[in-house]
Amino acid sequence: MIIDVRKLKYSGKYDSEFTCYYTPSEGIISLPGAVLNGQVCVTGTLALHGDDVYVDGTVSCKIVGECARCLKSAEYNFSSNFSVVYATERQDEDDYLYTRGLVDLTPAVNDVLLTDFPTVIYCKENCKGICPVCGQDLNESSCDCKY
């Protein structure tokens, strides 16, 4: 996910919109048993201010995994906003570096996936789960256990 900001400078523009699709490496998705359903979509804007590049974007994707309550298949639409600064020299510990006019969004997007990704997903918001005694799916029917 590399954006060539030299082209932006040469065109006389100082901001631009972008859309990128990305398949992260294994291990970035930290939810056990979950897989991506398609690619990660990254959309946003970037703006040039002197030598710094300011990026505001949204990372979104669909995850398929196991419901943490009833253990059935579940889908989750993940979306997270981010704002980062790319600089040619590190001025702040949160800055990302870029060289030769090429901004690589991959590290910032990986950071979003690592820090903002859900730790559990549910098949539906009000999933009742399963009975810890008899294992009955409480979404389908109740049980006579007194737990």
Tokens matching residue 112: 């979003």
The domain of 75 spans 2-116
Distance CA 111, CA 141 (A): 41
Number of domains in the chain: 1
Let me know: does 96 contact 109? Beta carbons within 8 Å. Answer: no
State pTM to two decimals: 0.81
pLDDT tens digits, one per residue of 77-136: 999 999 999 998 877 777 799 988 899 999 999 999 888 888 899 999 999 999 989 889
**Position 73 in a domain:** yes
Q: Which residues pair with residue 18 across a beta bridge?
A: 44
pLDDT tens-digit readout, 9-67: 777 778 899 999 988 887 787 788 888 888 999 999 999 988 889 999 999 999 999 99
Answer yes or no: is 17 within a domain: yes
Whole-angstrom Cα distance, residue 52 to residue 79?
26
Strand-pair partners of 15: 47
Is 86 part of a structural domain of the chain? yes
